């Protein structure tokens, strides 16, 4: 009976343990031996420890994988941001490229780029500064600030090292100030740009092949910390912009060079053309001013007798400039250039210490000047003066082109002189023949009017007429062109009359008044004979017996379409009923014939205010 009971209890325990095991819980049997129970607990504790260790290892692995995932997500985010920034940079550069590719004019391109720079950097204002020709001053060339600031373009200037912009150009470094930019020690306040309303500034140099050619600035009204991306973006814009500016300059340089060569070619053609010298000189100054973009271009020739430079051609429309006094050798800038036979340039005429230059510059609206001497085999011919509206540094290339143009002008002048002299030589025999026939006619007339006068008087009159004609030939041989100065003719005839006609003991003062008038040689010969007869008539009849003192005035006047010559004396007055047409004076008959025939003019002789006035008027 007992074994059977034990088996039943054992079966009951097994059944109880099996149920608990099936529920997933290993429970210590209630009535198990102490040793076996401890062993069982140790095994269970070891299993639990191993399980906890595995759980911790798994947890660490999960945490590590989570960190890796977070790092990868951050990396992906960074790459996406970088990708977006690169896309934005590429888009900005594309827009900059479009702006620069579509606009050939440098000023328009700079303005467009300044606007794009504001947009792509999300700023409020942008300015572009470029160096001037002398590379010592930064000039504001473009601005975009949402306001009407075009009036300051070209007027704001900064020296290298001056202000933050000048500092960036000097050190070739970008500068970013996030707030209170005005308080920076390097900053220079420019009120015209309303800089007090801006807090931040990013300034980047424009560098081309290691040389700084300008600076670009962007600014914001509110404090702003510029990111590396914004800085890099503006630097990329600056690099592309610098290349475009330099390419534009090179293109314009080639354009100017081609235009200059074309001008030189045209000037060369005119030298051998049939144009008159005045037309050639006018063409040279007009072509030079247009090709080189000068406001005024003037060609002055040297008067060897007076040692003065005289304006012969200019495209200036200013009457004040055209009528300005002649320039003495060694005086002013032109006079120095001529005397020293070297090119002289002045960067700022408005602050020149040379007398009259600053006033001329302000009156004519010019700032810079270059004066190039015209030389032919060391012979001084004149100067070519060129003026610019704004201050300009004349490069060696420009001076070289102007020197070439000046040499062409000098050759053209010498060529014209030689052509005129050649024509004079070819026609000299014809002129001499005509003058000899004229002298023969005068002598025949003299024979009919001899009367009771002695041989000496007759020969003296004839000799003076011959000398009057000779004076024209003498002047013609010395003049540069086929034109004669009436004043010089008058001076020669006055001298001859004083020596050969005025009797000893008489004191007659002769005076020449009025402007110098130039006439072609054909008219000049007739005027010389007319003036000679009128002077002789005034001396003989106005200051005859009993009148030993007096005054003879020769007045020259040039009006719109005619020339007037008057000879006035205060000697013996004319009779009340005097009419030169009824008078048998040979001299007056010669005058009337020459005036009406050769000069196609009018002659009168009458009393005016107790003086005898002989007047001759004829067309130009």
What gap in Å lies between CA 516 and CA 413, rounded to an integer? 22
Identify the burial level of 224 via C-beta atoms within 10 angstroms of its C-beta, where 0-12 means exposed, 13-18 middle and 19 or more buried: buried
pLDDT at residue number 19: 44
Phi, then psi, of 339 in degrees rounded to 5: -65, -40
Q: Which two tokens stand for residue 112?
A: 């467009």
Query: Taking the model in full, what pTM does it have?
Result: 0.46
Q: What is the pLDDT of residues 12-54, one digit of tens each?
A: 445 444 444 444 445 455 555 667 777 778 888 888 888 888 8
DSSP 343: -
- For the ranges 81-95, 231-245, 432-446, 496-510, the one whose mean pLDDT is highest: 231-245
Residue given tokens 């990396």 in the structure block: 75
CA dihedral sign, ordered 396, 402, 407, 410? negative
Summarised one tens digit per residue, pLDDT across range 492-535 is 888 877 876 677 778 889 999 999 888 887 788 788 888 888 88
Residue corresponding to tokens 């012979």: 379
Cβ within 8 Å of residue 360, ≥6 positions away: 321, 324, 349, 366
List, in order, residues 6 or more apart from 457 with CB less than 8 Å away.
none
At 270 the pLDDT is 61
Task: Say if residues 555 and 514 touch (Cβ distance below 8 Å).
Answer: yes
Q: In sequence order, what are the residues at sequence separation of 6 or more whose Cβ sits closer than 8 angstroms to the Cβ of residue 254?
A: none
Q: What is the pLDDT of residues 391-402, one digit of tens each?
A: 888 888 888 888
Whether residue 458 is predicted with pLDDT greater than 70 in this model: the reply is no
Longest distance between any two alpha carbons in the chain, whole Å? 213
Q: What is the pLDDT of residue 340?
A: 92
Q: Where does 272-416 sit in CATH, by number?
A: 3.30.450.40
Q: What is the mean pLDDT of the chain?
A: 80
DSSP labels, 177-242: E-S-GGGSTT----GGGTGGG--EEEEEEEEETTEEEEEEEEEESS-----HHHHHHHHHHHHHHH
Neighbouring C-alpha atoms within 13 Å toward the C-beta of 186: 17
Which residue, 133, 121, 222, 135, is CA-closest to 174?
121
pLDDT the model gives residue 20: 45
φ, ψ for residue 314, nearest 5 deg: -160, 150
E-strand stretches of 64-131:
125-131
Nearest CA-CA partner of 487 in 513, 448, 522: 513
The predicted pLDDT at position 3 comes to: 47
pLDDT score of 602: 92
147-169 core/surface letters (b: 16 or more CB in 10 A; e: else) = eebeebbeebebeeebbbbbbbb
CA distance 464 to 536: 9
pLDDT for 352 beyond 60: yes
CB 514 within 8 A of CB 556: yes
In tens, the pLDDT along 419-439 reads 766 765 665 555 565 556 656
Kindly list the distances between the CA atom of residue 203 and the CA atoms of 168, 197, 218, 219, in Å, as whole numbers in the listed order.
7, 17, 7, 9
The CATH code for residues 449-619 is 3.30.565.10
Whether the per-residue pLDDT at 247 is higher than 60: the answer is yes
Query: Out of 3.40.50.10860, 3.30.450.40, 1.10.730.10, 3.50.7.10, which CATH number does the structure's domain 99-254 have?
Result: 3.30.450.40
- Which one, of 31, 58, 26, 59, lies nearest residue 45 by Cα? 26
pLDDT at 494: 85
Residue 166 has pLDDT above 80, yes or no: yes
For residues 205-233, average pLDDT: 90
- Amino acid 216: pLDDT: 94
Residue with the bigger pLDDT between 99 and 25: it is: 99
**DSSP state, residue 348:** -
At 149, phi and psi to the nearest 5? -110, 15
Angle between helices 277-292 and 228-271 (to 10 degrees): 170
Residue 16 has what pLDDT?
Answer: 46
- Distance, CA of 111 to CA of 569 (rounded, Å): 75
SS3 content of the chain, % helix, strand, coil (to 5): 55, 20, 25
Average pLDDT over every residue of 312-337? 88
Q: How many helices (H) and strands (E) does the chain have?
A: 14, 19
pLDDT recorded at residue 469 = 59
């Amino acid at each position: 009976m007992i074994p059977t009971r034990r088996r039943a209890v054992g079966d009951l325990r097994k059944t109880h343990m099996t149920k608990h095991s099936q529920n997933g819980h290993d429970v210590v049997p209630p009535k198990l031996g102490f040793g076996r129970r401890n062993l069982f607990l140790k095994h269970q504790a070891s299993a639990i420890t191993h399980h906890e260790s595995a759980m911790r290892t798994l947890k660490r692995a999960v945490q590590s994988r989570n960190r890796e995932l977070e790092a990868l997500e951050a990396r992906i985010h960074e790459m996406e941001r970088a990708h977006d920034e690169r896309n934005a940079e590429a888009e900005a550069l594309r827009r900059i490229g479009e702006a620069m590719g579509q606009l050939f004019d440098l000023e328009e391109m700079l303005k467009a780029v300044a606007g794009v720079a504001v947009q792509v950097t999300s700023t409020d204002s942008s300015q572009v500064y470029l160096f001037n020709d002398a590379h010592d001053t930064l000039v504001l060339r473009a601005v975009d600030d949402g306001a009407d600031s075009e009036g300051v373009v070209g007027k704001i200037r900064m020296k290298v090292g001056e202000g933050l912009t000048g500092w960036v150009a000097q050190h070739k470094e970008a500068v970013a100030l996030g707030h209170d930019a005005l308080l920076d020690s390097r900053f220079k306040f420019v009120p015209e740009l309303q800089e007090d309303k801006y807090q931040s500034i990013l300034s980047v140099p424009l560098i081309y092949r290691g040389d700084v050619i300008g600076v670009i600035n962007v600014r914001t009204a509110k404090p702003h910390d510029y990111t590396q991306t914004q800085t890099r973006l503006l630097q990329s814009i600056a690099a592309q912009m610098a290349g475009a500016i330099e390419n534009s300059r090179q293109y314009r340089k080639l354009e100017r060079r081609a235009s200059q060569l074309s001008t030189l070619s045209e000037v060369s053609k005119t030298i051998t053309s049939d144009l008159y010298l005045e037309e050639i000189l006018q063409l040279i100054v007009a072509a030079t001013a247009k090709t080189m973009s000068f406001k005024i271009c003037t060609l002055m020739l040297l008067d060897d007798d007076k040692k003065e430079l005289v304006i012969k051609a200019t495209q200036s429309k200013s009457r004040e400039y055209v009528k300005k006094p002649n320039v003495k050798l060694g005086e002013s800038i032109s006079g120095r250039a001529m005397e020293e036979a070297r090119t002289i340039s002045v960067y700022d005429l408005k602050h020149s210490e040379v007398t009259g230059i600053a006033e001329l510059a302000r009156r004519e609206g010019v700032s810079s000047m270059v004066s190039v001497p015209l030389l032919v085999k060391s012979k001084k011919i004149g100067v070519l003066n060129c003026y610019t509206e704004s201050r300009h540094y004349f490069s060696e290339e420009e001076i070289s082109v102007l020197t070439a143009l000046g040499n062409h002008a000098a050759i053209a002048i010498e060529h014209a002189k030689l052509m005129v002299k050649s024509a004079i030589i070819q026609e000299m025999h014809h002129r001499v023949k005509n003058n000899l026939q004229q002298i023969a006619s005068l002598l025949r007339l003299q024979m009919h009017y001899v009367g009771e006068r002695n041989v000496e008087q007759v020969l003296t009159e004839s000799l003076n007429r011959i000398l009057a004609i000779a004076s024209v030939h003498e002047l013609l041989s010395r003049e540069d062109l086929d034109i004669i100065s009436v004043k010089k003719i008058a001076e020669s005839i006055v001298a001859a009359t004083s020596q050969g006609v005025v009797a000893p003991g008489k004191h007659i003062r002769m005076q020449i008044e009025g402007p110098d008038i130039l006439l072609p040689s054909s008219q000049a010969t007739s005027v010389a004979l007319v003036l000679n007869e009128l002077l002789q008539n005034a001396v003989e009849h106005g200051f005859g017996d009993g009148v030993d003192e007096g005054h003879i005035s020769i007045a020259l006047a040039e009006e719109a379409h005619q020339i007037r010559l008057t000879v006035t004396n205060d000697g013996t007055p004319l009779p009340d009923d005097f009419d030169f047409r009824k008078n048998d004076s040979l001299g007056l008959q010669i005058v009337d014939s020459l005036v009406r025939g050769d000069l196609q003019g009018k002659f009168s002789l009458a009393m005016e205010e107790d003086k005898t006035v002989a007047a001759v008027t004829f067309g130009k």
